[in-house]
Structures are given as structure tokens and as C-alpha cells.
Amino acid sequence: MFGELEGARLHAVLIVACGLCFSMFGYDQGVVGGFITNPFFLSTIGNPNATIQGLVVSIYDIGCMIGCGITAIYGLKLGRPRCVVIGCIIVIVGAIGQTANYHLVQMIVFRVLTGTGTGMISSTVPVWLSETSSARTRGRNIAMQFAVVLSGNVTAYWVNYGMSFVHSSAAFRFPLALQILYVLVAGLIVMKLPETPRVLYYKGREREGDHELCRLRGYRGIITENAVILSEKEQIVQSIEFEHTNMSDEPMWRVLFWDSSHIRNSRRLFIVATLQALQQLGGCNVIAYYQTTLFSTSVGLSENTAKLVAGFSALCYFAGTLPPIYLVEKIGRRKLLIWGAAGCGLSMLAFTILLATATGTQAGGWAAASMIFVFEFIVGSSWVSGVWIYAPEISPLRWRHLDNSLAIMSQWAFTFLTVMMAPTAIANTGYRIYILFTIITFLQIPFVYFLCPETAGKSLEELDLMFAKCEALEAEHSGIASIAGGDYLSMDQISPEKKA
């Protein structure tokens, strides 16, 4: 059915399919935290203590790390659509196991399995969209996915709130079963969607690459008869040859962590992995996972009021993801991240001061809660989508699946760390834990300012060029540096061993 689509319609279906996957991603993030204190759920898993409850919520992130590891190893070999489909199948199996749960161990095992599928999906979708979008729409298309992520998060909050009035095990089984719907529909659509031209060209499948590139750009003729699309193809081919020519012969660990070649992959990996870690260490997912607990324990609201306020806070978070769809291309990634970090830091600072000085009064409690709303909106408008857009953009094609997977693995690792320690930290330190989040949020500003160049409006091949060493460009007289002058390499000039 989707094999006949091309141009804008094909992009629309691709965005919808990826959106369903990411909506499930957001739903999964919020669903278990919403019923973790439900007496029917606790009774089913043996009434564990607070530490084990935190483990049940956060163990999902370990599964996500495993999924990212699988994509890092097999992502290029499997291709982008196949990774997503396999991830969807794994999530479905994991969701069924959680829904039918009758024991703590069963819940943990299938939660890890669900996380594994989510890790494969979340580390593939941004790369897939980056490689199929044009330079002027790439950021917007990925930013749209994170609006959808938060719509899933909002759905989880309100489904849990509605089911909290159900006095049976359906209060947690229905929310867990609902995640199957997202990935079932998404998986069926993705099975019919194309591989990215860049992967096809990299594997030496030129004819298929030409066909898919023309489809994505809405052109039905022969590629050699369209100068714009032909130029795009040749830039991709030149970039592949540039990577092959300058690829290091050093062991994999050195390529990842101390790359001495002209491609400088280790520098790129450091930037994207640190961005993801800083995002989590700023406390955004602690608030997303434990909003109800935060509003009741830290702010002092009643349990029912805390649930309602958390639901509206999730709506505010979702609203914050809408401006970047426009702003990420208009003002660029750097400004969005820098101003976002400043706004988040100030709102977290105000929240911390209010907790320290004004709690115990109704006015102080509501003032502190309002700062969480401000923080949620600003982080949704900047760091939620910005760091996910940046990672696949600056990574070289050969290592894009690997760098992006390791960057997102960093995100899941620090999500696990912060979410696992949050209940204990909040209970034992009170407002002081938020001082740490405030400091780290302000540290995001110099990191972006000094280490993250602007990527908006540039093709992936231009960004490759920007990160490569200058001496490499001087040496490559017939390489990618000469694209502007029309000195292109053909597919025939790439040797078979370099295509493999």
C-alpha cells in the first residue's frame, strides 16, 4: 500500500509511523510510575519496599540500554526499518508479559524486555528521520516526534488517573496493555516503508538507493535528469568515499574513544553522549517519572490533588514540545539549548528556594508547584528534542547508528541513575537534591557554547565536512571538498571492499 507513495505523502506516513513508536516511548516512561503505589499492583508483586518499587520503575531503563547496544552492533547491518520492526515485536511480547503479571520477578523480566524493544526503536528512529529528511526539515521532523513522545506521556498520566478509581487489578493491567496498540499499528506501517538511500549507497545498492532517493524527493524520472537530486546523491557518495579513505585502522575502542583519523568520531561521540547525560542530570526525568510523589512529598499537596496537578503538569510539558517544531530551524539548535538551559536553571533554582523557605504554607506549596510547570515547559521547548536532533546530525554515516545508540545508552544510563536514586534522595535530603539539579542545569550552558557548533540548515554531508580536520580536506582534492565544483565520484569508483 505504501510502496506507491512518494514525496510529501511518503514523508507524512514515515513521520506518523515514527510518531506512534515515540508515543509508545513516552507512554512507557510514565505508565508504571503512575500506578506504582496502587494497592492492587503492590499486592500482586508481593508488597515490596520503596527501593524495590524504584527498581521496578527504573529497570526499564536497563532494558533500553540493552536495546541501544543491540542497535549499536547490528543497526547498519539490519537497516533502519528492520530495527524498528524488531523493536516493536519485542515491545509487544514484553507488554503482554507485564499485563499478565502475577509475580515481582515476572514484572521485572518483562519490563526489561519491553525496555529492550524501546531502546532499539528510540536509537533508530532519529537516525532514520535524519537520513530521509532534507536539510531544512530535518530538525522539524525530529522535533515533531518529541511532541508525540510527550503526548504519550500525557496519555499515561490521565489513563492512570482514570484507572485509579477502579478497585481491581484492571487498574494496572489495562494501562500496561494499552501500549501494545501503539507498536502494533506502527510495526505494520514500518514494514512497508523504505530503507534510507544513504544506507543503500553505503552497501553498494546503487539502483535501490536511486529509487528511494527519488521517491523521498517526489521525483518520478531518471535521477541523472534531475540536477538537484543528482547533486544530493553525489554528495552522499563523496561522503562515503571520504569516510572510507580516512577510516582509521585502529581497534574499535580507539575509534570510539580516541580516534586519531581525520573523521574525529571520538570527539563527536563525546559531544552527543555528554549532551544526553547532562539532560538527565538536570532532573527532567525525575520530575517526569515522579511528579505525583514530588507534589505530595516535596510540595505537600494531598494525594488526589497531587495526581491532578501532575496530570496538568504533563500537559504543560507536552505544550512545551510544540514551539521547537518551528524554532529549531528558525533560531537553530545552539540558541535553543543555551536559552533552554538558562530558563530551566532559573526555574529549578526558584523551585529549590521555595522548597527551602516557603513550604508548610498553602501559598508556598502552590508557588513551588508553579515553578515545576515553568521548568517542564522550558525543558520541553529546548532540551527534550534538541539533544536528540543533534546526535544523528553530527555523526558520520559509518558510525551513525553506533554513535546515536551509545549516546542514547548514555541517556538511559543516567535516567536509571537519577530515577533509581530519586525516591531515597527526596526522602532523605528534601530540597537539597534539587540544588544538584540546578548546578548541573547551569553547567549545560558553557558545554553547548564551547563545544556544539550550529547544525541547522546544513546537510549531513556538510556537517561531516565541518567536523573533519582541515588537513584532510586539503589532501582530498577529488573528495567531498570538491563537491561545490562538481568533481564527483561515481559509484563505480568505490571499490567493492569499501562498499562492504
Q: Which residue has the higher pLDDT, 17 or 146?
A: 17
Residue 1 has pLDDT above 70, yes or no: no
Q: Average pLDDT, stretch 334-352?
A: 95
Q: Which residue has the higher pLDDT, 254 or 195?
A: 195
Q: What is the model's pTM?
A: 0.81
Can you give the CATH number for the domain in which 193 is found?
1.20.1250.20
- Tell me whether residue 177 is in a domain: yes
- Tell me whether residue 358 is in a domain: yes
Out of 87-91, 239-243, 467-471, pick the least confident.
467-471
Residue 106 has pLDDT above 50, yes or no: yes
- Tell me whether residue 338 is in a domain: yes
Residue 420 has pLDDT above 80, yes or no: no
- Tell me whether residue 495 is in a domain: no
Q: Average pLDDT, stretch 465-487?
A: 47
Residue 82 has pLDDT above 90, yes or no: yes
Residue 329 has pLDDT above 80, yes or no: yes
Residue 499 has pLDDT above 70, yes or no: no
- Tell me whether residue 217 is in a domain: no
Q: Average pLDDT, stretch 39-51?
A: 88
- Tell me whether residue 458 is in a domain: no
The pLDDT of residue 471? 41
Q: Average pLDDT, stretch 334-344?
A: 96
The whole domain housing 410 covers: 2-197+264-451
Q: Which residue has the higher pLDDT, 307 or 418?
A: 418
Residue 409 has pLDDT above 50, yes or no: yes
Out of 9-23, 107-121, 207-221, 276-290, pick the least confident.
276-290
Confidence of residue 225 (pLDDT cuts 50, 70, 90): confident
- Tell me whether residue 439 is in a domain: yes
Q: What percent of the chain has pLDDT over 90?
A: 40
Out of 229-238, 378-387, 411-420, pick the least confident.
411-420
pLDDT tens track for 162-183: 898 888 999 999 999 999 999 9
Q: Which residue has the higher pLDDT, 153 or 40?
A: 40
SS (H, E, C) the chain: CHHHCCHHHHHHHHHHHHHHHHHHHHHHHHHHHHHCCCHHHHHHCCCCCHHHHHHHHHHHHHHHHHHHHHHHHHHHHHCHHHHHHHHHHHHHHHHHHHHCCCCHHHHHHHHHHHHHHHHHHHHHHHHHHHHHCCCCCHHHHHHHHHHHHHHHHHHHHHHHHHHCCCCCCHHHHHHHHHHHHHHHHHHHHHCCCCCCHHHHHHCCCHHHHHHHHHHHCCCCCCHHHCHHHHHHHHHHHHHHHHHHHHCCCCCHHHHHHCCCCCCCHHHHHHHHHHHHHHHHHCCHHHHHHCHHHHHHHHCCCCHHHHHHHHHHHHHHHHHHCCCHHHHHHHCCHHHHHHHHHHHHHHHHHHHHHHHHHCCCCHHHHHHHHHHHHHHHHHHHHCHHHHHHHHHHHHCCHHHHHHHHHHHHHHHHHHHHHHHHHHHHHHHHHCCHHHHHHHHHHHHHHHHHHHHCCCCCCCCHHHHHHHHCCHHHHHHCCCCHHHHHHCCCCCHHHCCHHHHC
Domain count, the chain: 1
Most confident of 1-15, 90-104, 306-320: 90-104
- Tell me whether residue 224 is in a domain: no
pLDDT tens track for 21-44: 988 888 887 788 778 878 999 999
Q: What average pLDDT does the structure give for the chain?
A: 84
Out of 138-152, 189-203, 354-368, 425-439, pick the least confident.
354-368
